[in-house]
Amino acid sequence: MYLQNEVNSIPPLNPQPLPRIEERSVSIRDYVDLLVEGRKTILLATLSALLIATVYLVLAPRTYKADAMLRIDKNKALLAAPLHSDKNQAPAEADGPNAQREVEILRSRSVLGKVVENLNLTVQASPRYFPVIGETLARKHDAHDGLASPWLGFSRWAWGGEKLKVDTFDVPDRYLGKEFTLIALEAGRFQLLGPKDEPLAEGSVGESISADIGESTPVILKLSELEANPGAHFDLTRKTSLEAIETLQKAFSVKEVSKDTDILSVELKGKDPEQLAKSVNDIATIYVNATVNWESAEAGQKLAFLESQLPIVKERLEKAEQSLSAYRQKHGAVDISAEAEILLKQASDLETLGIQLRQKHDEQSQRLESEHPDMIATNTQIKHVNGKLAALNKRIKDLPRTQQSVVSLSRDVQVNTELYTSLLNSAQEQRIAAAGSLGNSRIVDYAVTPEKPYWPRPGLLLAIAGLLGLTGGSATIFLRYSLQRHDNYPALLEYQVGLPLYAAIPHSKKQQRLARLIDQGKAREPGILASQDPQDISVESLRGLRTTLEATLANSESKVIMVSSPAPGMGKSFVSTNLSALLASIKKRVLVIDADMRNGKLHSAFSVDRQPGLSDLLAGRATLGEVIISLPEVGVDFIPKGNTVLNPAELLVIGNLEEIIEQLKSFYNHIVIDSPPILGATDPAILGKHADATFLVVKEGRYTAQELEVSFKRFQQVGIKPNGFIINNMKEGSSYSPYYGYAYSTQIDANQKSLSEKIPGYQAVEEWFRRNQEPETEVLPPLAMDDELPLVMDEERT
């Protein structure tokens, strides 16, 4: 007997120390391969996102947008400024209105409050639609076709074409914001229900109804229009004016089209397109009228002040004229010297300017505080004029008494005449300004009823959904990849563990379906991939493993191969069964033993009973002839696990396992043992002492180098050195996945299909060729308990 711990045991394929391999860096190719591998996940995520977006597009309520355009005239103040204003002093209005200030005025409660009042926006009335799909169906209905017929007799819901217009809906303050129900009846009649669905009153369209609900004020309702199927329900809610204004402010936006253009865009969003257009136009009209009224009010205020000053100035003028006339009559004509003429002119001008400044001060004091810069400037000017006038009066006192009196009286007449004339001109200007005031804003474009909804936008939503689907799918792939337990580089894994890689088996979709049938108990024949689909890519990689084993174990008298794994679910049973089938296909007599007496499932794969089996043989309850099952479909013999036992390790030790293996080795070319996982049981350590080659099977994405190292040490502790490891279930698209024969097998399949269609009788020739190329191995009948196994192979029988 040849044991692995003996000198002449079979060495690994590459016993020399492996060269140190630097860990490779992640390249763009790796990311591309990973995305290609997870293309189904990405496609599923993208389709799911697009489906959700499509459902949202169908079911989402439509939002419309109506807009108007206003022009702010900054030059109007300059045009409206009085013609006699000082050249060095522009009026305050000449600076023109600020666009941001006008935006805030448009959003003010004084403007929006009038819109709410004019359009009765404090009342909200809406029909009740069928849940989820009702609003969509009602939207699809053409209102010109009248009312839509209720589906399946559900007349309490609205299905399209309903109309409701409320003129008056007053409720007590305690019921503001609460929902009332209106039910349409026959012949234009309706019924009003309270917040608790209690009947309140009934009425008809056009008449006002009143209902007492125990408050100081009753509920008053008046409808001007109602079109609905009898039984249709509507929701009525009365809001406070402030709440309605705040709701309008949230849906309302004003912005300057571009900087320094003085063009404002007024936009309003909502569900009712006609109501939106009316609201926007009402907002623009109220704002423009408000600016006109403000301008007219200001002009009227100035005119009233001027008219109040005119009688006073006129009276002063008359008194001055009478005084001058009386003095001349008493003293006769008095000549005024040139110096007196100059002093008279200067004094009269300063006197006129001082009176105008005082009038200006009185007009400003009505709207400005005393600390305002304009008020301070006016007071300063008045003081300056008074100072100059005092100096002139001092010089006038030095004149002769007769000339002094004539200058003083003439000055009073001249000043009051100029002042009276100026007041008359200003009053006339203000009358013209008040009559022709147009405000500082104009409506450039009125809002029109929108035809298409503003939201949702199909193109934008689908683009965003597609991008989110691609991003989410890719993120899922990378997240799943980062959470997997694996080493990406098999060569690096070989260096870390110290074991050579014997094979990398790609993922097989056919094997996945076979495993599903086996788990469901629907497999009626052995579910061995090598027998079901010999051209499968996974089978081709196992052929490479078979060739390597034949070369490695060529010098051994017997070839006992044990297949184990670090943990369950790695695919060791798949490797054991398919490797056995491939060894049998090259005229080898092969025996498969299911040594996992705890959870072995090879009997399900071969579609046989699990008992009697190995546990019964070791316990002495069955003979070799009773436990060995011939499987002509696969070409191998099989020993199932047998009855489940609680102490399989002890049974392996005391159950004459060594003697049984020796008898089987003399009769079979290969004995493949499917053992339990090494990290979960000690059975592989016991079985490995009787094996000529031991392999560890790991599954991509479910192993780490640490697990392989621990498994390797477990075998070393009992004197067993595993030959190498096998990576199973390599995903498609991995840059290191060896896809043996992929294109070749596909081409062969295509050629065979083409020949079978074109050449008559080709299938019969193909069957003959298969029988002669790979003759099936003759299987001996089951051994009896008393039979002795021959020591040499029967050449004729094999």
Contact between 583 and 546 (Cβ < 8 Å): yes
Structure tokens, 717? 């502790």
The upper half-sphere exposure of residue 106, i.e. CA atoms within 13 Å in the direction of its Cβ, equals 30
| Percent above pLDDT 90 for the chain | 32
Structure letter (DSSP) for residue 56: H
Cα 120 from Cα 29, distance rounded (Å):
65
Beta-carbon contacts of 741 under 8 Å, excluding residues fewer than 6 positions away, are: 535, 537, 540
Cα 276 from Cα 278, distance rounded (Å):
5
Cα 687 from Cα 561, distance rounded (Å):
10
CA 149 to chain centre: 37
Residue closest to 561 by CA, chosen among 339, 726, 415, 784: 726
Least confident of 164-168, 535-539, 756-760: 756-760
CA 233 to chain centre: 35
Question: End-to-end alpha-carbon separation of the chain, Å?
Answer: 23
Strand partners of residue 504: 727
Long-range contacts of 87-94 (CB under 8 A, 24+ apart): 92/374
Cα 679 from Cα 112, distance rounded (Å):
77
Cα 365 from Cα 358, distance rounded (Å):
10
* Residue 550 reports pLDDT greater than 90: no
How confident is the model over 719-758, as pLDDT tens digits?
Answer: 888 888 888 888 764 544 444 444 344 444 444 444 344 4
What are the phi and psi torsion angles at 561 (to 5°)?
A: -115, 125
Q: Work out whether strand 64-72 and strand 263-270 pair parallel, antiparallel, or are unpaired.
A: antiparallel
Confidence of residue 399 (pLDDT cuts 50, 70, 90): low
Secondary structure element (H or E) that encloses residue 221, with its range: strand 219-227
User: What's the whole-model pTM score?
Assistant: 0.59
Handedness of CA 204, 205, 207, 213 (dihedral sign): positive
* Residue 24 reports pLDDT greater than 60: no
Q: Which residue has the higher pLDDT, 295 or 268?
A: 268
What are the phi and psi torsion angles at 672 (to 5°)?
A: -105, 120
For the purposes of burial, counting CB atoms within 10 Å of the CB of 173, is it exposed (0-12), middle (13-18) or buried (19 or more)?
exposed
How confident is the model over 124-167, as pLDDT tens digits?
Answer: 999 999 999 999 999 888 888 889 999 888 899 999 999 999 99
* Residue 212 reports pLDDT greater than 50: yes
Q: Work out whether strand 233-238 and strand 179-184 pair parallel, antiparallel, or are unpaired.
A: antiparallel
* Residue 78 reports pLDDT greater than 90: no
Confidence of residue 524 (pLDDT cuts 50, 70, 90): low
Q: Which residue has the higher pLDDT, 582 or 292?
A: 582
The arrangement of strands across the sheet holding 636-639 comes to 501-506, 724-730, 693-699, 559-564, 670-674, 590-594, 636-639, 629-631
Strands in 73-193 per DSSP E: 123-127, 163-170, 179-184, 189-193
* Residue 519 reports pLDDT greater than 50: yes
Determine the average pLDDT of the residues in 174-183. 95
Beta-carbon contacts of 404 under 8 Å, excluding residues fewer than 6 positions away, are: 396, 397
Q: Cα dist. 733→34, 38, 446, 473, 552 in Å?
A: 7, 9, 61, 17, 30
Tell me what pLDDT residue 744 has. Answer: 44
